[in-house]
C-alpha cells in the first residue's frame, strides 16, 4: 500500500495554508511594531522641539524659528518640520521638505482643540507619510501648531522584504513537515495496516497464523484486535461449515460446537440454562493502571460456552480476580465473552475466611485427597465444613435469585465444591432440572466413609435429578456409597436412587477436549524435528529424543514416580544418556496449601538430584519448567515430543492425554498413560502403565522411543479416532440431552415404574 498522491497534495495544501496564515500574522505584527516605533519617535521629537519653538514663537522671530527647524531636520527618515500659526499659515519650514504642506493636511483647529498630539499616516501621491501635530502655546492659549513629517515608505519596504523571506520559509517548512508526516504515517499506519491486510489474506487462503503482526502497536491495538476477532469469527464459521459438510458427506455423526448449539436450542429455552462452577470463565485483574481479562486454564469453558451461548444462559461462579468487582454491574453481572457477548457471568463474592475454609480447606484438603487414592490423608476441620455449607448456601441463593421468573430452568452444577447445592436448589425450586457433574473420581464406600459428613454430602448430591461421573466405575462406587451411608432404594438396573419420592439418575459422561481446537495455532507442516530442535535450543539443551509431561503440580499426578521412571530408564539404557531429555511443564497450583507448597519443592529436589547424576555442559536428563504455560506454548511440546507421559496416581479423566492425542495430526508420538486415569478406559492404544512401578515406567519409555513408525502411527490413528468421536461437545450434548429428557414432579413415580 502506498500513500496516495491525493493524500500528499492534501497534506501540502493544508500545511501551506496554515504556514501562510502564521507568516501573515508575523508580518502584520512586525508592521504594527515599526509603525508604533515611528509614532513614538515623532512624539519624542515633537516634545523636545515644542520646548524651544514656543519661546521663539512668543517672540515672533521667524528667523529663530527657521534655524530651530533646520537644526532638527537631518534626523533619520524625517521628511520635514513645519511651524504653523493658529490661522494655518506657515511661519517656518525645514529646507529638506520635498513638497509644500500649505494648507496643512489636517484642520489645525482640531489639533488645538484637543490640546494633545495627533498622529496620522497619510498617503500623499502614493507616498506613505506619517504626520505628527502638536499644539504650541503662549501661556494658556494656543498660538500655533508644530507638524513633524516622517517618510513611512521604509515600513512598506521592510514588510515586503519580510514577506519575501517568509515565502522561502513557508516553502522549506512545508516540504520538511510533509516529508516528516509522510514518513511517520508510513511507519506507524501504512506499514502496520498493510501487514495486517497481508495477514488477513494469508488467513483467508488458509494459512492460519496465531496473531496479526503489529497486534501490540499501542495505538493500532484496538483496530488489530477487532480485525483479529472478525477474522477469527470468519475462519471459525468457514471451518465449522467445512467440517459440517465433510461430516454430512462421510455420514459421520461427530459432535461439533455447531451441532451442540443447534441441539441445545431445541432443548433449553432462551435464558433457562444455569451453570455453576467455582472457577469463573473470565477473570479481571489489575495490571499496573489497567485491567486485564484472563481466561483461567480450564477445559470447562470450551465445553460449556457453546451451550450457554446457544440459549443466552447464566454462568454463576466465584469472583476471584482483583478487578472483578469493578467490572460487574449492580447485579454482579457481566456479559461475556467480552469480544462478542452472548451470555451472562454472575459473580458471587465469598468473604476471605469462607473462601479459605470452603475452597482451600474442605474442598482441597478434605474432598480432593478423599476422592483421589494418592495416599495423602484428607484433613477434615469442623470450621471448614461450616464454610463449605455457607459457600454452598451463598451460591444456592445466587442461583435461586437468577432463576426467579424462569420456567422449567436447567441447572448444571460443576464438581466437588458444590455437593450440597443440588438439594438446596431443588428444595426451593422443585420444578428445576438439576444435574451435577463430579469431575474427580468417586472412591469406594470404605474410603469415602472416613469423611465425617459423608451422609450430608451424599444427601446433598441426591437432591439432583442427574449425577454425572467420568466413568462407570465411579458411578458404581457412588451407588455403593449411597447404599452404605443412607436409607434409600437403589435401582441397579437403571442406575438410579429413589429417596423420599425423588429419583436421581447416575450416569457416566467421560469428559473430553475440542478435537479441532487442540490443534489450533500450529501450522501442521512444521516438522516435529524442527520444533524439537527449536524448543530444546531455547532451553539450552542438545538432545535427539524428547519426552514431555504437562500437569498442575499436584500430588495426585505421580510426578515423583514419573521422574524416578526417567531415572530408571537412563540407568537401564545408558546409551540414551546425553541423547534423551524429559521436559516436565508443571503449573504451580493451590500453593497456599502446605502440602502443595511442600510437594512443589519435593519435585524440584528430585529433578535436581537426577540431573546431578548425569548432566553435562550441553545436556541434562530433566528440564522442569515450573510456571503456568498457555495452550499455545504447550502445543509445540506436544507436537515435538517422541512421547507424552501421564502418570497420575488417580485421576477422574486426565485431559492432557486427550490434548496430546488431538495435537498429533502427524500421527506421530506415543502416549504413556497411567492405568489409574479415567482416560485409560477409552485410550486403550496408549502404553498403559502402573505409575507405582518404576521398572514398568522405564520399560514404557524404552518402548515409546524404540517403537517402529508403523506401530506408532497405527496406535495414534486409533487414539485420534477415539478422541475425535468422543469430544467435549459430545460430553456436553449427552449431559444436557439426558437432563432435559428426565421427567420431574408428579410424573416421577410413574417414570420409576415404566422404565
Nearest residue (CB) to ligand G6P, 181 versus 298: 298
Nearest residue (CB) to ligand G6P, 372 versus 620: 372
Nearest Cα to 346, choosing from 269, 264, 275?
275
Considering only 439, 639, 715, 720, the residue that binds ligand G6P (CB under 6 A) is 439
Nearest residue (CB) to ligand G6P, 415 versus 699: 415
Nearest residue (CB) to ligand G6P, 439 versus 639: 439
Q: Compute the least distance from the CB of residue 279 to ligand G6P, in Å.
A: 5
| Integer Cα distance of 723 and 104 in angstroms | 112
Q: Please give the residues from 594 up to 613 whose contact with ligand G6P meets the rule CB under 6 A.
A: none
Q: Compute the least distance from the CB of residue 277 to ligand G6P, in Å.
A: 7
Q: Compute the least distance from the CB of residue 440 to ligand G6P, in Å.
A: 5
Q: Which residues are registered as beta bridge partners of 69?
A: none
Considering only 332, 402, 415, 551, the residue that binds ligand G6P (CB under 6 A) is 415
Q: Compute the least distance from the CB of residue 755 to ligand G6P, in Å.
A: 31
Q: Is there binding between residue 589 and ligand G6P (CB under 6 A)?
A: yes
| Integer Cα distance of 34 and 458 in angstroms | 100
Q: Please give the residues from 52 up to 71 whose contact with ligand G6P meets the rule CB under 6 A.
A: none
Q: Please give the residues from 613 up to 642 whose contact with ligand G6P meets the rule CB under 6 A.
A: none
Nearest residue (CB) to ligand G6P, 324 versus 415: 415
Asked if 469 and 508 count as a contact pair (C-beta separation under 8 A), the reply is yes
Nearest residue (CB) to ligand G6P, 174 versus 471: 471
Q: Please give the residues from 1 up to 20 whose contact with ligand G6P meets the rule CB under 6 A.
A: none
Q: Please give the residues from 99 up to 118 whose contact with ligand G6P meets the rule CB under 6 A.
A: none
Helix axes 655-663, 709-725, angle to 10 degrees: 120
Q: Compute the least distance from the CB of residue 721 to ligand G6P, in Å.
A: 25
Exposed/middle/buried for residue 295 (C-beta within 10 Å: 0-12, 13-18, 19+): middle
| 450-469 footprint of ligand G6P as x/- string (CB under 6 A) | --------------------
| Integer Cα distance of 27 and 452 in angstroms | 95
Nearest residue (CB) to ligand G6P, 232 versus 279: 279
Give the CB-nearest residue to ligand G6P.
439
Q: Which string of b and e fits 639-676 if b means at least 16 CB within 10 Å?
A: bbbbbbbbbbbbbbbbbbbbbbbbbbbeebbbbbbbeb
Q: What is the grid cell recorded at 654?
A: 486426565
Q: Compute the least distance from the CB of residue 303 to ligand G6P, in Å.
A: 12
* Torsion 508-514-516-522 (CA) sign: negative
Q: Compute the least distance from the CB of residue 545 to ligand G6P, in Å.
A: 30
Q: What is the grid cell recorded at 123?
A: 498617503
| 78-85 vs 141-151, strand pairing mode | antiparallel
Nearest residue (CB) to ligand G6P, 484 versus 587: 587
Can you give the length of the chain in residues?
755
Give the Cα-Cα-Cα angle 700, 703, 708 (nearest 5 degrees): 150
Peptide bond before residue 103 is cis, with ω within 30 degrees of 0:
yes
Nearest residue (CB) to ligand G6P, 198 versus 589: 589
Considering only 429, 590, 639, 726, the residue that binds ligand G6P (CB under 6 A) is 590
Nearest residue (CB) to ligand G6P, 359 versus 619: 359
| Integer Cα distance of 3 and 387 in angstroms | 65
Q: Compute the least distance from the CB of residue 415 to ligand G6P, in Å.
A: 4
Nearest residue (CB) to ligand G6P, 39 versus 593: 593
Q: What is the DSSP code (8-state) at residue 572?
A: H
| Integer Cα distance of 163 and 168 in angstroms | 9
Helix axes 221-250, 257-267, angle to 10 degrees: 80
Q: Which string of b and e fits 395-423 if b means at least 16 CB within 10 Å?
A: bbebbbebbeebeebbbbbbbbbbbbbbb
Nearest residue (CB) to ligand G6P, 418 versus 619: 418
Nearest residue (CB) to ligand G6P, 440 versus 458: 440
Q: Compute the least distance from the CB of residue 317 to ligand G6P, in Å.
A: 10
| Residues 6+ positions from 464 with CB-CB distance below 8 Å | 413, 422, 423, 426, 434, 435, 436, 504
Q: Compute the least distance from the CB of residue 634 to ligand G6P, in Å.
A: 16
Q: Please give the residues from 497 up to 536 whose contact with ligand G6P meets the rule CB under 6 A.
A: none
Asked if 276 and 399 count as a contact pair (C-beta separation under 8 A), the reply is yes
Q: Compute the least distance from the CB of residue 530 to ligand G6P, in Å.
A: 33
Q: Please give the residues from 290 up to 329 whose contact with ligand G6P meets the rule CB under 6 A.
A: 298
| Residues 6+ positions from 666 with CB-CB distance below 8 Å | 524, 528, 639
Using CB under 6 A as the binding criterion, the count of chain residues that bind ligand G6P stands at 7
Residue appearing with cell numbers 478422541: 723
Q: Compute the least distance from the CB of residue 590 to ligand G6P, in Å.
A: 6
Q: Compute the least distance from the CB of residue 344 to ligand G6P, in Å.
A: 21
Residue ranges binding ligand G6P (CB under 6 A): 279, 298, 415, 439-440, 589-590
Amino acid at each position: 500500500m502506498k500513500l496516495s498522491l491525493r493524500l500528499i497534495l492534501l497534506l501540502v495544501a493544508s500545511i501551506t495554508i496554515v504556514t501562510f496564515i502564521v507568516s501573515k500574522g508575523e508580518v502584520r505584527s512586525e508592521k504594527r511594531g515599526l509603525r508604533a516605533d515611528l509614532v513614538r519617535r515623532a512624539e519624542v521629537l515633537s516634545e523636545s522641539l515644542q520646548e524651544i519653538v514656543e519661546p521663539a514663537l512668543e517672540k515672533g522671530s521667524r528667523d529663530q524659528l527657521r534655524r530651530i527647524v533646520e537644526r532638527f531636520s537631518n534626523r533619520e527618515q524625517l521628511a520635514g518640520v513645519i511651524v504653523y500659526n493658529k490661522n494655518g499659515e506657515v511661519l517656518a519650514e525645514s529646507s529638506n521638505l520635498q513638497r509644500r504642506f500649505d494648507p496643512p493636511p489636517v484642520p489645525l483647529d482640531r489639533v488645538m482643540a484637543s490640546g494633545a498630539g495627533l498622529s496620522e499616516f497619510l498617503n500623499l501621491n502614493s507616498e506613505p507619510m506619517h504626520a505628527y501635530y502638536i499644539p504650541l502655546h503662549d501661556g494658556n492659549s494656543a498660538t500655533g501648531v508644530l507638524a513633524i513629517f516622517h517618510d513611512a515608505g521604509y515600513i512598506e519596504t521592510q514588510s515586503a522584504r519580510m514577506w519575501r523571506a517568509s515565502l522561502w520559509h513557508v516553502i522549506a517548512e512545508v516540504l520538511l513537515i510533509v516529508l516528516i508526516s509522510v514518513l511517520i504515517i508510513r511507519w506507524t499506519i501504512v506499514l502496520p495496516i498493510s501487514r495486517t491486510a497481508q495477514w488477513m489474506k494469508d488467513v483467508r487462503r488458509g494459512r492460519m497464523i496465531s496473531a496479526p503482526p503489529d497486534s501490540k502497536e499501542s495505538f493500532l491495538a484496538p483496530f488489530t484486535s477487532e480485525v483479529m476477532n472478525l477474522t477469527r469469527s470468519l475462519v471459525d464459521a468457514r471451518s465449522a461449515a467445512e467440517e459440517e459438510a465433510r461430516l454430512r458427506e462421510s455420514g459421520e455423526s461427530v459432535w461439533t460446537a455447531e451441532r451442540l448449539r443447534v441441539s441445545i436450542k431445541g432443548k433449553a429455552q432462551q435464558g433457562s440454562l444455569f451453570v455453576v462452577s467455582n472457577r469463573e470463565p473470565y477473570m479481571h485483574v489489575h495490571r499496573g493502571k489497567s485491567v486485564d481479562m484472563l481466561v483461567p486454564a480450564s477445559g470447562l469453558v470450551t465445553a460449556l460456552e457453546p451451550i450457554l451461548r446457544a440459549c443466552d444462559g447464566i454462568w454463576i461462579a466465584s469472583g476471584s480476580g482483583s478487578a472483578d468487582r469493578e467490572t460487574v454491574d449492580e447485579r454482579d453481572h457481566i456479559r461475556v465473552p467480552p469480544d462478542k457477548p452472548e451470555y451472562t457471568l454472575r459473580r458471587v463474592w465469598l468473604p476471605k475466611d469462607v473462601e479459605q475454609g470452603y475452597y482451600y480447606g474442605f474442598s482441597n484438603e478434605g474432598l480432593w485427597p478423599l476422592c483421589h487414592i494418592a495416599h495423602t490423608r484428607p484433613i477434615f476441620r469442623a470450621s471448614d465444613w461450616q464454610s463449605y455449607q455457607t459457600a454452598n448456601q451463598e451460591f444456592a441463593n445466587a442461583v435461586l435469585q437468577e432463576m426467579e421468573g424462569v420456567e422449567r430452568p436447567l441447572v448444571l452444577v460443576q464438581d466437588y465444591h458444590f455437593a450440597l447445592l443440588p438439594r438446596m436448589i431443588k428444595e426451593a425450586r422443585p420444578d428445576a432440572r438439576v444435574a451435577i457433574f463430579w469431575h474427580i473420581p468417586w472412591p469406594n464406600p470404605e474410603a469415602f466413609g472416613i469423611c465425617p459428613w459423608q451422609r450430608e454430602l451424599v444427601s446433598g448430591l441426591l437432591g439432583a435429578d442427574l449425577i454425572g461421573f467420568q466413568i462407570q466405575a465411579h458411578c458404581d462406587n457412588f451407588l455403593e456409597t449411597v447404599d452404605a451411608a443412607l436409607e434409600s432404594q437403589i435401582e441397579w438396573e437403571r442406575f438410579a436412587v429413589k429417596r423420599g419420592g425423588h429419583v436421581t439418575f447416575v450416569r457416566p459422561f467421560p469428559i473430553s477436549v475440542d478435537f479441532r481446537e487442540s490443534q489450533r495455532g500450529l501450522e501442521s507442516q512444521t516438522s516435529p524435528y524442527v520444533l524439537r530442535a527449536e524448543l530444546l535450543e531455547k532451553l539450552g539443551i542438545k538432545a535427539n529424543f524428547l519426552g514431555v509431561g504437562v500437569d498442575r503440580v499436584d500430588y495426585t499426578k505421580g510426578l515423583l514416580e514419573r521422574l524416578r521412571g526417567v531415572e530408571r530408564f537412563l540407568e537401564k539404557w545408558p546409551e540414551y544418556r546425553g541423547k534423551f531429555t524429559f521436559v516436565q511443564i508443571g503449573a504451580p497450583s493451590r500453593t497456599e496449601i502446605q502440602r502443595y507448597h511442600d510437594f512443589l519443592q519435593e519435585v524440584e529436589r528430585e529433578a535436581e538430584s537426577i540431573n546431578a547424576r548425569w548432566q553435562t555442559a550441553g545436556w541434562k536428563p530433566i528440564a522442569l519448567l515450573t510456571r503456568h504455560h498457555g495452550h499455545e506454548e504447550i502445543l509445540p511440546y506436544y507436537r515435538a515430543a517422541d512421547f507424552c507421559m501421564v502418570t497420575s496416581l488417580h485421576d477422574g479423566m486426565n485431559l492432557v492425554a486427550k490434548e496430546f492425542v488431538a495435537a498429533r495430526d502427524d500421527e506421530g508420538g506415543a502416549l504413556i498413560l497411567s492405568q489409574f486415569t479415567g482416560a485409560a478406559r477409552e485410550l486403550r492404544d496408549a502404553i498403559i502403565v502402573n505409575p507405582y512401578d518404576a521398572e514398568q515406567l522405564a520399560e514404557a519409555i524404552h518402548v515409546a522411543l524404540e517403537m517402529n513408525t508403523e506401530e506408532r502411527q497405527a496406535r495414534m490413528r486409533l487414539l485420534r479416532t477415539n478422541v475425535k468421536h468422543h469430544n467435549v461437545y459430545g460430553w456436553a450434548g449427552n449431559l444436557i440431552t439426558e437432563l432435559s429428557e428426565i421427567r420431574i414432579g408428579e410424573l416421577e413415580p410413574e417414570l420409576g415404574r415404566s422404565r
